Structure 1
């Protein structure tokens, strides 16, 4: 199914200060949009508003032509997945158990995860080069290792819209390159909308997606 996401004149005001002013954006499955801009230009704020973790003060957001206020939050979050810039773990968990949680919305609470889902975990872990971490305690990982786990989980969830806030911040050069390559490859196989806040654009950014500069 082809997905459409549209922002029409979206503005965001926090504590009496306008952070984002009248942003327009249209995206369909297969689009990758990199949001850039100076510090304080509202990049993360805009992403959180699309995810509906912050209120929109003016303008409209549409998902498949449905106004965001007409969609209950649980339905919105089934379709729009947000990976924040900073993630923490509240309790110890093995990496493989953290990754399989990508499928928790696809089953009833008492059902076990399927062999197919476990194979998907293994396959995506191999693509990101983290199979050696699968039996590790996720709370003991480095910042870069844990970030790779969150990215694997996000890709396994396969949402129609994936929002990523500085996904490569904790990654070394090798894994930054790996991330952009996998994102590009996955869009060719099973297209989705990816909106990514980043300062770390590939050299040939036009090969990877569009750029929305909030400083302009």
Structure 2
């Protein structure tokens, strides 16, 4: 049964409030998915965005959904209706897109997956607000205007809460998290490729702990 947009947005908000950071994961080997997810969860980061940028992504989502009970696994880099359908079948619990198109929004209306859509301008944010989206991804956060632009939107767009993603690092995440209209940030620094390839799950867990403490 497909939820209405308000219910889906409540699910998105709940996911955004789980931790200060949602890891944006590019995974090359699905065998790394479960130990990576367990390390992130152990470090206090339960929501995980696995991007559809590799052929291993859907298998990774499926494995995490089946084997890591406390993880809330989502799908990123969603571009089409087929992406939404495949991710939902794999067990994803939320979807994230870099931007939006009329076809993608129509597919999201018909999908059970709650969508966190990407925007880079106030006009895009207003258009999504008209459709009932109050929780948005600001992407690419740093190139698009960073903390200053997002902070400037807080007064004219008080209904919207953001997850800025793109160019954010551990050292700059707090600057975004201090904004009144930011619930969390997205970042790839929690799961660097070298740690995934070497299986350094302890190091990933430590990065997760540091990220989970950012709002402390």
TM-score w.r.t. structure 2 length? 0.32
Larger Rg belongs to: 1
Greater fraction of residues in strand: 1
Q: Which has the higher contact order (CA 8 A, sep 6+)?
A: 1
TM-score w.r.t. structure 1 length? 0.32
